Amino acid sequence: MNSAISQAIEFTEVFKKYKNAPSPIREAMCFKAQYPALLSPVRDGDVFAGRGSEKRIVYMGSVWWFAVPDYSPKFLVEGKQGGYCFDFSAPYNLPTTDDEKAVLKELSAFWKTECTMAKIYAKTHLRDGVGFLFANNLDRLISRGLPGLVQDVTAMPDSDFRTGLLSVLETIADVCRHFQKQAQQKGLTSMANNLEAITQHAPKTLAQALQLILIYELLSHEKHYELNRFDVALGDIYAQELENGTITQAQAIEQILAFYRMVREYGEVSVCRLIMGGKHRRNPENADKLIVAALKAEQLHRQVIPQVSLRIYDGMNPEILTLAYDTINEAYTFPTLYNDDAIIDGVAKAFDVSAEDAKKYYPLGCGEFILAHNSPAILCMGWSVPKTVDAGIRKANAKTYDELYQSVLEQIKLEADELACYHKLLVDVGGADCAFLMASLLTDDCIARGKPIFGGGVNFNGACVMGHGFTNGADSLTAIKQLVYDQKAYTLEEVLKALDDNFVGHENLHKALISAPKYGNDNSEADQTVSRLWRDMTEAAREAGKNHGLDFLTVSSVNPGGYHLGWAMGATADGRLKQQPFAIGNAPTAGYDKSGLTALMNSVLHTDPVNGGSITNFKISRDFFVKERGKFEALFAAYWAGGGLQANITIINKGDLEAAMKEPEKFPHLLVRLGGWSARFIDLDSYTQHEILKRTLY
């Protein structure tokens, strides 16, 4: 029988055996049943162990993309599953014998009611993702090591949670020993020694630390590596090795490069993020040494995984920022840059937390903010801003623009309430079904309180809604205000009829809508409309989250889901045709920013820092970067000083994108930003390629 099916049977039998046991015990036993069974072996030439496997049907974890219970051969439905997950496509595409078909049919019937997603769906009419991500406390992982974590858990009062944590830690050690044996058999002595060492004490070398992170992240996140403050966790060990003469910078670069390659091989393209830098680090000098090695490794790596990101701030070592710009030039898009001077205060207000807690912000996945190892990241639902605006406009019957906007605001509040209700349901049902032991081990203050992450252990339970198309929604409002209410050139009914007809037969109106002020051109009215709309949506989400018992509910504008939501949306009053992409993140609609880079920056600077995550794409010509480097740095220095929150900078030669579309084999390393994450340009569908091509090149 197929090994994946055999493992699914074993896992299901373990679940059934412990079905009525306390959730931490059931989870620990299921965790033991999946590891090391779901891991791929060490290969010749590997530097590190820690490779997952695609051969899975049923699984327990924080989040996994699987076909969901509504799947059928004619209708593929995939989504984020969290907790106990089952791939409901398996009965249709995996079996090769009648026996395998029968087994998978039986397994599918069982998990259709027992997977965590099914338990959530049973309580709501909404259908979206249910999983969550988190950013482990890597600094604690490295400073305590596996034996230290065992000591910490052992010191807890006796409970099922304590028993489950100890079992999971033993499974992690078993995985290390599993890989150690394979490494010894292949003659990989250094790897074997590192694996043995991390079962006995906290890491003492950079290689041991990297190995421990790889294994822990693999077992806690699978494909979704989230590497918070990588430099803080590794800086002291690396600096000590440099001082002792047991490692050189060149050797460190090679080790980090090998680490990147392992993450890239198995990681999911849109959610593997590695964060370095920022204010309030306990070891900035040592951490900066690690950043230098990590950025130099990225210059050699030049791949989309992991998404290397850098938190910058006034007073940081200026050589780090210079190296970051050099690395962006070499690697096309990385590191992405986040401005602590503006973001920390904004996060404090958006999350209603102290500045001390806000400094723990982490741009997860595509760049949505969470509080690293202080809050889970529930990122399950998208919010189509243009659709909300359109619904509000159609309900309005407004004589004034203020009445129109009030109708939109009422629609925002209705949708925010529904979103908050759904996210609270995820917390309640997920917490009742699962202890999420791996997350709890490195989340503050689960061990100190003796409680799981969703059982009162975590400091904050909040969520983030992924907003899409703010620019299109706001530009639509700006255009209607100008043409309908200020100039009275058209009626609202005429605009709505034109939208319904996709502007066919309404060419003059279409041209007028396109000519209306657009975000990205330093036009105060357009820029303020974007800012106002986002601020009002943020406040509506915040109030709704509080009303439903969440500590916070924020709204981000980072995700490239606007490509797909745009495809499903009709024409909008900014002049966008139906099925065209939304503007991605906090950026103008592609090609509508026509007033220069300074004007674009001035527009972006209107963004209220009180939000759940904001990304802005800047496409810069390599000629400008190389020949006008001083001007480039001066522009961005002014942008950061003015409160710019974030920058995704792509440095590219004019004509490279067009050439890559014609001869993709010649441009395998051409990376571009989609939204909060990057991709190889040649791997994208033509729909997405053309949207990126339309973006203004400065």
What pLDDT score does 89 carry? 94
What pLDDT score does 222 carry? 84
Using alpha carbons only, what angle is made at residue 110 by residues 431 and 376, rounded to the nearest 5 degrees? 20
What pLDDT score does 669 carry? 61
Q: What is the pLDDT of residues 498-516, one digit of tens each?
A: 999 999 999 999 999 999 9
What pLDDT score does 619 carry? 86
Residue 206 scores a pLDDT above 60: yes
Using alpha carbons only, what angle is made at residue 70 by residues 68 and 72, rounded to the nearest 5 degrees? 100
Give residue for tokens 């950079």: 206
C-alpha closest to that of 172 among 206, 149, 144, 143 = 149
What pLDDT score does 470 carry? 95
Nearest-10 Cα torsion for 260, 265, 271, 274:
-10
Task: Judge whether 312 and 321 are in contact, CB under 8 Å.
Answer: yes
What pLDDT score does 667 carry? 67
What pLDDT score does 198 carry? 98
Whole-Å CA distances, 671 to 96, 181, 404, 516: 39, 38, 42, 33
What pLDDT score does 668 carry? 65
Residue 613 scores a pLDDT above 70: yes
Structure tokens at 656: 């490279």
Q: What is the pLDDT of residues 21-66, one digit of tens each?
A: 999 999 999 999 999 999 999 999 999 999 988 788 999 998 888 8
Maximum pairwise Cα distance, the chain: 80
Give residue for tokens 């009030």: 406
Q: What is the pLDDT of residues 407-426, one digit of tens each?
A: 999 999 999 999 999 999 99
Q: What is the pLDDT of residues 477-492, one digit of tens each?
A: 999 999 999 999 999 9
Q: What is the mean pLDDT of residues 299-309?
A: 92
Q: What is the pLDDT of residues 535-576, one digit of tens each?
A: 999 999 999 999 999 999 999 998 777 778 888 899 999 999
| Global pTM value | 0.94
Mean predicted lDDT score pLDDT of the chain: 93
C-alpha closest to that of 209 among 182, 229, 187, 238 = 238
Residue 218 scores a pLDDT above 90: yes
Q: What is the pLDDT of residues 634-689, one digit of tens each?
A: 999 999 999 999 999 988 876 877 887 788 876 666 766 655 656 677 777 776 77
What pLDDT score does 687 carry? 65
Q: What is the pLDDT of residues 240-286, one digit of tens each?
A: 999 999 999 999 999 999 999 999 998 887 788 999 999 999 999 99
What pLDDT score does 115 carry? 96
**b/e 335-345 (16+ beta carbons within 10 angstroms → b):** bbbbbbbbbbe
Residue 210 scores a pLDDT above 80: yes
- Number of Cβ within a 10 Å radius of residue 264: 16
Task: Judge whether 354 and 439 are in contact, CB under 8 Å.
Answer: no
C-alpha closest to that of 333 among 306, 312, 370, 313 = 306
Q: What is the pLDDT of residues 139-185, one digit of tens each?
A: 999 999 999 999 999 999 999 999 999 999 999 999 999 999 999 99
What pLDDT score does 110 carry? 97
What pLDDT score does 325 carry? 96
**Lowest mean per-residue pLDDT among 292-301, 446-455, 464-473, 590-599:** 590-599
**Lowest mean per-residue pLDDT among 109-118, 139-148, 208-217, 684-693:** 684-693
Residue type, 540: A
**In whole angstroms, what is the distance from residue 115 CA to residue 71 CA?**
14
